[in-house]
Chains A and B, each alone.
Chain A
Amino acid sequence: MKKYLIVLLLGGSLLSGCKKNFLDLTENPNYPSTATAVSLLAPAEVKTASIAVDPGLAIVNVWMGYWAFSPNYAVNQDSRDYRFTNTLGQSTFTNIYSNAYDYQKIIDFAVAQSDPALEGMGRTMKSFLMQWAVDIWNNVPYSQAFQGTVNKAPAYDDGRAVYEAIYDNLTVAINKLKTASSFPDASQDLIFGGNKTKWIKFANTVKLRILLRQSGRADRASYITSKLAADFPSSGGTISSYFLQAGEGAVVNPGYVNTDLKQNPYYANFGYNAAGTKTGNNDFYKASSYSVNFYFLQNDLRLFYVAKPVSTGGITFFGYHFLGNEMGSQGNGAVTYSDNLDNSPIGGPSGGIPYRSATDPQPVMGDFESLFLQAEAVQRGWFAGNAKTIFNQAQLQSFIFDFDRVDGAGSGAAYQAMLTATPDNNWDMATDKIKLIITQKWAALNTINFIEPWTEYRRTGYPPIPLSSSGSRGPRIPVRLKYPQTEYDLNGANVNSQGTIDQFTSKIWWMP
C-alpha cells in the first residue's frame, strides 16, 4: 500500500513542486513593457515630421501644380482626373491618428509622472495633428478617439467643434508649459531641444494658424476677436514675443543618415534608397511645367531645390535645363511631353552639388511658415506691426532653409536678392497682399509640406493653379479626401452617418 501512495505523491509533487514563478511568463523578454513620457517623445516627433510629406498624399502635389506624372507610366487615371477611391490618403489617416495617440500616451504618462512640460508638449502636438485631420477630412473622430480598446468605434465630431476643442487644448498646453521648470534635453526633444519659450511660441503659432484658417468666414469673426483679445492682448506682448520668429522653426533632425529607414522622409520616399536606386515615386512624379515656369519667370533659384535638371531641352536656367510635364497630359496622346527621366521632384543640379540629401532636416512647421502666418495676421489688422517686413523675412527664411545648408551662410539672402520682382513675389508690386503671402507660402512649401499648400489653396484660392488638362477630369481641384476605406470596413456606422462624401462639394467647414 505504501508503495502506491509514494507513486501518488510523486504525481502530486510534480503538480505542486514547481517553483512559484514557473508560470510567470507574461513579461515579454524581447521588448520592454513600460516606458516614460520622455522616452516616447523623439519617435513621435520624427513621425510627425514624416507626416508632413506623407506619401499617401503625394497626389496632392499634382493637384497643387508642383508635380505632374512621368510620361513613362500609364498612371491611374482616377487620381489624375481628381476622381479617386477611399483608399487615397488612407495611410495618412492612420498615420495622423497613430501619431496623435503617441502624444496622447505622452500626455497620460506625463500626468502620471506630474511632468507639466511633457504634458504641454503632448497637448500641443496632438492639437497640431488634429488640425491637419480636420483640414483633410472635416468631421473626424476626436472626443471619443484615442481611447484604445475602451471605444473601438469612435463617433465623428463636427469639424468646427474639433477646431474649438484643439484650440482650448492648446490653452491648457500653454498653461502647463508655463508652470513647468524641468524640460527634456536636445537628444530627447528634437523640435526645440527642450526650449520652454519656443514651445510656448509654437503652441501660440498653432493657435494663430487655427484662427487664420477661419478668417474667410464672416460668422467666425466674433470668435476670432474674442480669442485674440483673450490670448494675445497687446498688453501681454508683441507679435514677435507671441509667435515663432526667424530661426525658431519647428524642425526635426534625429540624425538622418543615408541608411534605409534612417533617411530624411522626403528623400526616402521621393529620392533614392540608401543604395542610390530611385524610388518608385521618384520615377512616377516629375516637376510640372506650371511650377518650373513659376520659378523660372521670377528668376527664383528655389527651382534648383524643387526639381532636378534634365540633360537637354526645356528652359535654360543658369546653364541647366528644366523641363516640366503638363498636369493631366499623361495618356491622352494629344500633348507633347517630356520623355526625359531625370526631371524628378528631388532638387539639385545634375553633376553638381545636390540641394537635397538624405541627411536634410524635416520641418514640422518652418520658421518661414510661422512668419507668413504673422504677415497675414498683421495684414488683416489682427496685430500691430509691419506686414511687409515680416513677409520679406518669411521669404528670406525660405531661401535660407533651402540653400544656406548647402551653398553656405548668406547664400539664401543672395538668391532672394536675385529675384525678378513681380506681383507674385514683391510686396510693393502686389495689389492683393493676401494673394502674395499665400503664393509665396506655396512657393516656399514645395516638397516640404504636402498638406498646408493645399489647405491654404482651398481657403484662399491662391495661387491660380490651372486645372488638369485631362479631358475627363472633375470640375475642380478636390476640396477634401474621402474617408478611408478602413473606416467603412471597421467603423461603418459612424462614418456612414457622415452621409455621402463628394470630393468636389463636401467642403471643410472653414471653407468660404
Chain B
Amino acid sequence: MRKITLLLSMLVLSVLAFAQRTVSGTVRDEKGEPIPFATITQVGKNNATQADANGVFSLKIPDGAQLRITASGHQEQTVTVSGNTVNATLATTQAQLAEVVVTTALGIRKQKKEVGYSTTQVSSKDLTLGRSPNVGSALSGKVAGLSIIQPNSGVTNDVRINLRGNRSLLGNNQPILVVDGSIININYLNQINPNDIDNINILKGAASTALYGNEASNGAIVITTKKGSRNAPTITASSTINLESISLMPKLQNEFGSYGGEGLDAQGRSSYIPYENQSYGPRYDGHLVPLGNPVRVYNADGTFRDSTLMVPYAAVKNGKRNFFNTGVTYQHNVAFSTGDATGQFYISAEDMRRSGTVPDDKSARNSFRINASKDIRKISISANINYIRSTYDIVGPDVNQDRAVYWSVLNAPAHVDFSKFKDVVNNPFATPSGYFNAYYGNPWWTIKNSRQTDTRDNIISNARLEYRPLSWLSASYTVNYNAYFDEYAYHRNSVQYNAGAKFYAENGFDIYPASGGYKTSNYPGVTQTGYRERYNYNRLQGDFLLNLHHDFSKFTSVLLLGQTTYQIRTDQNDLGYDPTTGSVNSYTDISVWGPAYAVGAPLSYHYESTRRTIGAFADLTLGYSGWAFVHGSLRNDWDSRLEKNNRSFLYPAVDVSVLFTDAIPALKNNPVLTSGKVRVSYAKVGQVNIDPYGTRDIYTAPASLGFPYATVSGFAVGSRFNNLDIKPEFTAEKEIGLELAWLKNRLLTDFAVFRTNTTNQTLPLGISAATGRTQAYLNIGEVQNTGFEADIKGTLIRSRNFTWTAGVNYSYIQNKVISIAPGVNEQQLLSAGGLGGGIYAIVGQPYPILKTTDWNRDDQGRIIVDKSTGLPTRNATPTAYGTTQAPNRLGLNTMLTYKNFTAGAVAEFRSGAVVLNAIGADLDFTGVSTNNTKFNREKFVIPNSSYDDGTGKYVANTSVATNTDAWNFFGNIYNSVGSNYVTSADFWKLREVSIGYNLPASFLGKTRVIKAANISLVGRDLFIWTVKENIWTDPEFSNTTGNGTGVTNISQTPSTRKYGISLNLTF
C-alpha cells in the first residue's frame, strides 16, 4: 500500500507542476458519441495531449491558438479556441486496425494497440444478421474460440457457452456476462433483447478478465447496450416473423408393427399385438388390423357399445414428423433515442412471442430498457434499467410413465396415425381409457393436460456516479443490482379410466392374453399431481474505482485502483415437492394449491444461500511513444464460500503489446503490411468453484427414509462428503498474439496461441460407494488447454456499388488432463446411466472423454459370442471413445452489398468429437429405429464375431446365429451396450442466411417521416450435415447444459430450421 501511495503522490505532484490555465472540451463523432483517445495538438507547437476514454481533454494553450484534433477513424479537424471550452465534432472514416477502440474489463475503453490480450468485437449488425430472437444462438460461428452449444430445439432457448475449452472438470466453465458494467448471471444472455445491443466484446483469456475477479476465469462476454443519440430524436422499429420446422428426424423403420415378447407362435413367429408399445411384430401387409383393445363407448344414459378401431397394417407416411407443428416467432421492437451535448436518453420495448414445433409449446418475452446519462460539469451520472419478463408454457411428462411427450410419439408403432387422436375428449379412441397403447399415453392428451409453466421477472440495473475533479483523475462509484424472480409450476390432470378400459385390459381378446399395462394397474385412475417452485436470485454489488492518468514526455500512464463488494442471495421455496427425495404430491384439487388438497402429507422445501465476496485491485498501464504498452494488474479476493484460512487469494496479470510497424521505421508506410502488432500476456485467476456451504458436512433428517416420524426423529450424514480444506482453483494463462493489417486494411488477420493450466480443481466427484458415500468435494487435478485461434477478415471486392467481404474464424483446442489425484488415473464425472460409463477425465487424454460399455471382444477386436447361443455379452469395463468437445471449430461468414441489397451468410463446422446417442437405445427397445431392421428381424450371425472353440482359442464365427428373436436381441441385449450408439459428432451447419434490401432514399423521401427502411429475408440452421452413421439426432444436442455434454437422449425434440422476414424502420 505504501508503494501505491508513493506512486500516487508522484502523479499528483507532476500534474500540479503545470500551469493553472487550461482549455478543456470533449471530442465527439457525428452521432454525438464521445471519441476516446483523440490527439489534440496546438498547431505549430510541440504541445499536445490525448483525450480520455470519454473524449474529454484539457490542454494549456495561449489565447487565440489553434488546435488540431486527430482521431483514428475520423477526419482531422482544426479549431480556433475562444473561451475555455472546446467541443469538436469529427466525421467518421475507415479506422486503422490498431486504433479501434475496444471495451475492456470494468468498461474501460482502450485503443486496440494498447491491449496485450485477445478481444473480439461483434457489432450490432453482425449480431442481428439472422434476426435470431436470442443472443446466444446469434453468436454461433462468429468468434474464434467461442463455443455456443444449443442443446435442444425447444422454446426455452437453452445454450451452453464456453471460451477456449473446458478447463474446470466439473465446476463452472461458462464465461461471465457483463452488461453495461454490471456482472450478471450468464443465464441472462438469452433474456436480453438483441436489438438493444450496440456491441459485444468477447474477452477470451484470463489476462483480459483478471480485473473482474474470481468469477471471470472463464472469460467474459461484455455487452454494451445502445445509448441515446446526441442528435435529433430517432425512433427505430422492427418486426420479424420467423417460422420453424423440423429438419432432422431419427431414421425410423416402416416395415414392422407391434409385438413386445408376448410369446412366439408354434412356428416361432411373433404375432401382432394391438396394444403393444414395442414394434417387433410381423411385417406390414396392408390388411386391416385392430389398433388397441375394443373400446367401450358409453352413451349418456350409461349404456354402452363396444367398438374396435381398425386401421391398415401399414406405415403412415411421415406419421411422426407430422405430429410436429411449424413454430412461429414474432418479434417486435421499438426504440426511441434522443440527447444533447451533455445528456442522452434511450428507451426501448420489445415483444417476442414464440410457438414451438411441439404443439401448444410457447414462450414469450417482454422487455423494457431505459439508458440515461447526464454530465454536469465535472460530474457524470448514468443509469441503466432493464426489466424483462419471460415466460414459457411447455408440455410436461405423460401420465403413464412420466415420459417426455416425444417418447410417446417416436416410440409408437409406424402404423399409428397421430392426426386421428387429437380430440382427447370426444374421440373414444383418443381418451385415456380408449387409447390403444397399454404403456405410453396419448401424446395429445399429455399436451392438453400436463403443463409446465414458468414466469421469470428479471431486473438488471446500475447507477453510476463519476467525478472528474482534474483532467488526470476521476473517481466513480457504481451500484449494480440484478435480480430474478422465477416461478415455475407443473401440473398434470387426473385420469379416470372407465370400466371398459379395465375390462378389456384384464380380459383382452381371445387371440392374445390380457394386456394389463398401465390402465389396469392404475384403475380407476390417477389423481392430479404437480408442484410449484419459486426461486429468487439477487445480486448487489458496489464498485469503487479511481482512475489516474498522466503522460511523461514519451510515456503515458494509467493507474486504476478499485475495490468491489458483492453479495448473492438465493432463496428457493417448493410447495408440493421435495427435491431431496423427488417426491411430488397428488391433489384432490390442484387449482387450489393449498396443502389441504394434498393427498398424504403436504410436501414443501426451502433452501436459501448467501455468499459475499470482497475484491481489491490495482491496475497500471504504461505506454511508450504510442507503440509499446505494458499493463499489469494485481487483485485479491476474499470469498465467503471458503473457510477462513483459505478465503483470501491473490493473483496477478501482465501483458505487453508492441505495434512493431510503428516501432521499426523500416516497416512504416509499407504498401503490403499496413500495420502489425504483437502481444504477449500472462495471467492467473482464482476461482471458487463450489456452491455456498460446500465445505462443511451437513446432517439432514433423511426424508427418503421417512424422517421425521411422529415420535421418532434423527439425522443422517448428507449424501456427499464435503471438505473443510477446499481451496480456490487457479487458472494460469499464457498467450501470444499477432494482429496484422494488410493492403490498407483490406485484409485483417489475428492469430493467437494460448495455453491455460487450471489447477486445484474443485469437484463433487463420484467415488466408490465403499467409502461410505458416493460423492465427495475434492480439490484435485490439473487441466491444460492449448489452443490456436485465427480470425481472418477480408474485403474481396470494394467498388462504388458492390462490396464483398468474407471472414474465417478457426480454433483448435487441444485439451488435456494433466493429473487428477495421486494414484488416480481416471475419474468418472457423469454417469451415462444404464449404458454404463459416462463422461470421464483421464490423465493424458482430452477432457471430457466419453467411455461406455462395449461387447466383450477377442484380441483381434472381434465380438465374442457364445458358441451355442450365438449371443455376445457386454463388457462391464467401459471403453474410451474420444472427447465430446469438438477440438476443431471453423466459422465462415460472408457479406455482399450491391447498391441497396445486402446478403450475408454464416456457416459453422465442428469436428473431432464423439457423441453417445442414448436415444438410440430407447428406439431399439421399442424397435422403431432402422437400426434394428438391419437383419430383417431374423436371427443372424453377428458380423465380425468369433467364439471360443473350447480350447481358449477364438475362431471366426461364420455360422452360429443368434438363438433369440429380434425383440430380445435388439430390445434387451444390443441396446444395453453403449458402443452401439457412439458416432462422430462432426457437423456442418448453415447457421444464418440473410438477404436485405434498403428502401432507396428517393422512395422514402416522399414519405418524409421514414428516414430509413430495410426489409430482409432471414434463415437460420437451414442446412445440417452429419456423419452417415448418426441416424438419430443433431450431434450438437445434449441432455445437459453442464460440462458433461456429449450424450443425447429422447428429451431433445428434433432439430429445426428457421426462416422468416424482418422489417426495420427508422423515423
Contacts and interface: CB of A to CB of B under 8 A. Distances in A.
Interface of A: 1, 3-4, 7-8, 10-12, 14-15, 18, 22-35, 39-44, 46-47, 50, 70-74, 76-78, 85-87, 93-94, 97-98, 100-102, 104-105, 140-141, 144-149, 151-154, 187-188, 190, 254-257, 259-263, 274-275, 277-278, 280, 282-283, 331-334, 337, 339, 341, 472, 482-492, 494, 496
A85 B874 contact: yes
A6 to B, nearest CB: 10
B770 A25 contact: no
B262 A141 contact: no
Interface residues of B, number: 116
B844 interface: no
B136 interface: no
Contacts of A337: 513
A278 B522 contact: yes
Contacts of A487: 768-770
B611 interface: yes
B964 A35 contact: no
Contacts of A94: 769, 774
A10 B869 contact: no
Interface string B499-511: 0000000101000
B964 A148 contact: no
Contacts of A148: 721, 771-773, 776
B712 A259 contact: no
Given A261-B703, A337-B513, A494-B768, 5 more contacts: A40-B715, A41-B714, A152-B765, A275-B599, A339-B508
Contact of B770 (A50, A145, A259, A283): A145
Interface of B is mostly: mixed
A26 B878 contact: no
A278 B772 contact: no
Contacts of B704: 261
A72 B642 contact: no
A230 to B, nearest CB: 30
Given A11-B563, A18-B614, A39 B714 contact: yes
B581 interface: yes
Given A32-B698, A105-B717, A283-B516, A141 B768 contact: yes
A105 to B, nearest CB: 6
A275 B647 CA distance: 50
A64 B262 CA distance: 24
B695 interface: yes
Interface in B764-787: 765-774, 776, 778
B542 A42 contact: no
Contact of B768 (A35, A40, A87, A152): A152
B718 A31 contact: yes
B266 to A, nearest CB: 8
B876 A24 contact: no
A149 B563 contact: no
Interface stretch (B115-123, B284-292, B828-836): B828-836
A104 B723 CA distance: 18
A490 B827 CA distance: 7
Nearest to B774: A94
Interface string B533-554: 0000000001010100000000
Given A15-B563, A98-B773, A341-B521, A26 B697 contact: no
23 contacts: A4-B473, A7-B546, A8-B8, A23-B614, A23-B640, A25-B611, A25-B692, A27-B696, A28-B692, A31-B698, A98-B769, A98-B773, A100-B772, A102-B717, A148-B773, A149-B771, A154-B771, A187-B712, A187-B713, A274-B600, A339-B514, A485-B876, A489-B831
A261 B774 contact: no
A247 B192 CA distance: 70
B516 A70 contact: yes
Which among B521, B697, B828 has the greatest number of chain A C-beta atoms within 10 A?
Answer: B521
A40 B521 CA distance: 38
A32 B612 contact: no
Nearest to B826: A492
B673 interface: no
B768 A491 contact: yes
A489 B769 contact: no
A151 B771 contact: yes
Contacts of A40: 699, 714-717
B706 A486 contact: no
Contact of A261 (B263, B506, B508, B706): B706
B973 interface: yes
Nearest to A335: B263
A415 to B, nearest CB: 31
Given A26-B695, A85-B874, A102-B716, A152 B546 contact: no
Nearest to B977: A85
Contacts of B278: 74
B310 interface: no
Interface of B: 8, 12, 260-265, 278, 469, 473, 475, 506, 508, 513-517, 520-522, 526-527, 542, 544, 546, 561-563, 565, 581, 583, 586, 599-601, 606-612, 614, 616, 638-644, 647, 692-693, 695-707, 709-718, 721, 723, 765-774, 776, 778, 821, 823-824, 826-828, 831, 834, 836-838, 869, 874, 876-878, 963-964, 967-968, 972-973, 976
A24 B770 contact: no
A27 B695 CA distance: 9
A74 B927 CA distance: 14
Contacts of A43: 701-702, 705, 707, 714-716
A86 B707 CA distance: 31
Nearest to A97: B769
A26 B642 contact: yes
B698 A490 contact: no
Contacts of A334: 263
A25 B516 contact: no
A341 B711 CA distance: 37
B836 A101 contact: no
B441 to A, nearest CB: 15
A341 B772 contact: no
B707 to A, nearest CB: 6
B712 A39 contact: no
Given A23-B614, A154-B770, A489-B838, A149 B878 contact: no
Nearest to A150: B771
Given A31-B700, A260-B600, A277-B526, A44 B776 contact: no
| Chain B CB within 10 Å, residue with most, of A27, A77, A78, A190 | A77
Contact of B696 (A28, A47, A491, A496): A28
Contacts of A333: 262-265
Contacts of A29: 608-610
Q: Which 6 A-B pairs have the closest CB atoms?
A: A72-B516, A101-B772, A333-B263, A74-B261, A141-B770, A28-B693
